[in-house]
Structure 1
Amino acid sequence: MASELCKTISVARLEKHKNLFLNYRNLHHFPLELLKDEGLQYLERLYMKRNSLTTLPENLAQKLPNLVELYLHSNNIVVVPEAIGSLVKLQCLDLSDNALEIVCPEIGRLRALRHLRLANNQLQFLPPEVGDLKELQTLDISTNRLLTLPERLHLCLSLQYLTVDRNRLWCVPRHLCQLPSLNELSMAGNRLAFLPLDLGRSRELQYVYVDNNIHLKGLPSYLYNKVVGCSGCGAPIQVSEVKLLSFSSGQLTVFLPAEVKAIGTENDRVLPLQELAMRSLHHTYHTFLKGGQQLVLWLTAAPPSVCRHLTY
């Protein structure tokens, strides 16, 4: 195995390969052959997924100075070392599924970085220097232990996709609403109780996912025209209300589903999820009418906040 590895690296050096694949090699240490002599000066993409690496060498940037993409998915790396900041041409860094506890501040020196993936680790915080990544477009920090996000994150002016699912967030910094390029924000499975009222004000933001935040009481009104995922939020409405609200046509009877949540009030300036559900029922009602089918809508004791959103 070792001789085969050395041969692979030697061929890459002699033929000046730009891509090197060292996935599934059961490597416990960074190969010395990669760091030998002048290293691999022409290498741009290094794939070392699903090994058993625990550290990265301090002279990585010196030996691989033109590295653009580094894939270290599924290893056992605990710390992102200071040396990572010297890979000045790096555009993509994947450290998902490791054992990361610390990301060094020097990561902010990766000014060319566009994609940073740190999902499935043990991070409790991100250094504020992440805000120095002006070219960053994708940031995936899902399935960690984050309690909050760095306020300087709003300085990532190119950020388009932010994924923070399955952490321990209890609030969202209002500064995130200022991200001018953000198109998709996913914060499912956290501990959010509220969202900034400005969230969704940006025209660029089109997709927001906050599913399974059981304490979330409402959605900002700016999210009305966005694609929103919010299942598993808020408190379930009473069973009696569910049974009293239905519409039927022939053998078809549709009840207000139990997973619909009654959250938010007009005073909160939020759009209740109950309203979103009723708009869907209203659309279905008119679809039946256009199809020439006879549809009877029974509303015997629905909450007033629901009835206002149905016209017939």
Structure 2
Amino acid sequence: MASELHETIFMAKQERHKNLFLNYRNLNHFPVELLKDEGLQFLERLYMKRNSLTTLPDSLAQKLPNLIELYLHSNNIVIIPKAIGNLSRLQSLDLSSNALQLLCPEVGRLRSLRHLRLSNNQLKSLPPEIGDLQFLETLDVSMNQLASLPDRLHRCSSLQHLSADHNLLSRVPRHLCRLARLTQLSMAANRLTFLPLDLGGSRELQFVFVDNNLDLKGLPSYLYNKVIGCSGCGVSVRGGDAVQEGQAEALSEALLGLPSEVKAVASEADNVVPLEELAMRTLHRLYHQQRRHPADVNLPPPIPLPRSLLDLLQFPLGHCHRCTQAMFTVIYPKLFPLRHTALAGVHRRTTVSFVAYCCSSRCLRTFNLQA
């Protein structure tokens, strides 16, 4: 086996192969032949699936500087070296089905990366630096132990497919609603209780799979015309009152960090928008005017605000589904039954409803999702 491996690598060097297949070789260590002398400067794709590797060499980027694709599926890799960030041309990295417990921040330096697959590992968190991957199109972190996703993930402006099934996620970062190119979102078998109010507002997002989130009791109405998978959701709910009560609890969680007096869902009978909401809407208008016209002398001076409020002004809790008014605290919810789609057979096994969120009782009365 060793002689065969040596011969394969020798031929690759002699003939300047761009692709090298070392799958199913029962390798315990990274082959030193790949790292001798000048390495394989011309190699672009390295396949090392189904081996027994536990780590990668620090000199990987130095000896294989032109790697575009690196496939390490089904090994025993526990840690990857910081030097991996030097693979400046790398576009696809597959570390699925390994033993990763930690992902080094240097992954954020892989600025050419388009596909990152980390499913079936032991990751409990992801480094915020993943948000620096502006060309990333695919991110698969399914079957890990993630309790949250990085808030900076919304900076991955090219992201199209995000899979985070079978984790411990209790929420979806609302900033993900800003991913204009996201076409498919899969977060099945987590602990979700609510989805961001604006999720589905982008025309590009067409597929959302949230099956087997037992406490998920409502879907934003922006998802009404999308392909939805929600089998096994809301199974603990009994009747419309329970849905309304559960939705109130979910929205209360969505308002974490705000004073307790604004953590409430207004009823349809309310005719006055609370002062806190009016103040936030006014600040929002001023904030965006100042950003668009920083030199306009007619505008009031900038208002110093804590970071949490500045973040909320930049990324509102949601927008009115009737008039698109930005919303920050109070929401008027209106339930609609789950419509029949191609997945109607699946939907009938749930008690999940679509929920429209409006900024006022007036918008609520005039909004009809099914019109």
Is the TM value for this pair above 0.5?
yes
2:120 matched residue in structure 1: 120
Which of 253, 262, 269 is the equivalent residue of 2:333? 269
1:219 matched residue in structure 2: 219
Cα pair 1:172 1:196 within 8 Å, conserved: yes
1:50 matched residue in structure 2: 50
Cα pair 2:183 2:206 within 8 Å, conserved: yes
2:175 matched residue in structure 1: 175
2:32 matched residue in structure 1: 32
2:316 matched residue in structure 1: none
Cα pair 2:214 2:236 within 8 Å, conserved: no
Q: Partners in 1 of 2:90 and 2:110 — Cα distance?
A: 7
Q: Partners in 1 of 2:92 and 2:205 — Cα distance?
A: 23
Q: 1:280 offset after TM fit, Å?
A: 8.8
| Structure 2 residue runs without a partner (length 5+) | 248-266, 269-331, 345-367
Q: How does 1:157-172 map to 2 (within 5 A)?
A: 157-172=157-172
Q: 1:269 offset after TM fit, Å?
A: 3.0
Cα pair 1:219 1:270 within 8 Å, conserved: no
Q: Partners in 2 of 1:278 and 1:7 — Cα distance?
A: 56
Q: 1:49 offset after TM fit, Å?
A: 0.1
1:130 matched residue in structure 2: 130
Measured against aligned partners, the alpha-carbon deviations of 1:162-208 in whole angstroms (never above 9, x if no partner) come to: 00000000011100000111000000000000111111111111111
* TM-score scaled by length of structure 1: 0.79
1:200 matched residue in structure 2: 200
Cα pair 1:275 1:309 within 8 Å, conserved: no
1:100 matched residue in structure 2: 100
**Secondary structure at 1:116's aligned position in 2?**
strand
1:19 matched residue in structure 2: 19
**Secondary structure at 1:27's aligned position in 2?**
coil
**Secondary structure at 2:162's aligned position in 1?**
strand
2:81 matched residue in structure 1: 81
* TM-score scaled by length of structure 2: 0.67
1:5 matched residue in structure 2: 5
Code of the aligned partner of 1:88: S
Measured against aligned partners, the alpha-carbon deviations of 1:117-175 in whole angstroms (never above 9, x if no partner) come to: 00000000000000000000000000000000000000000000000000000011100
- Tell me: CA distance 1:89–1:278, structure 2 relative to 1, closer, same or farther (3 Å): closer
Cα pair 1:143 1:167 within 8 Å, conserved: yes
The answer to which structure, 1 or 2, has the higher relative contact order (CA under 8 A, 6+ apart) is 2
| Structure 1 residue runs without a partner (length 5+) | 242-261, 282-307
Q: 1:277 offset after TM fit, Å?
A: 4.8
Q: 1:275 offset after TM fit, Å?
A: 3.1
Cα pair 1:219 1:271 within 8 Å, conserved: no
1:60 matched residue in structure 2: 60
Q: State percent identity of aligned pairs.
A: 67
Cα pair 1:278 1:309 within 8 Å, conserved: no
Code of the aligned partner of 1:128: P
- Tell me: CA distance 1:237–1:169, structure 2 relative to 1, closer, same or farther (3 Å): closer
Q: 1:235 offset after TM fit, Å?
A: 2.7
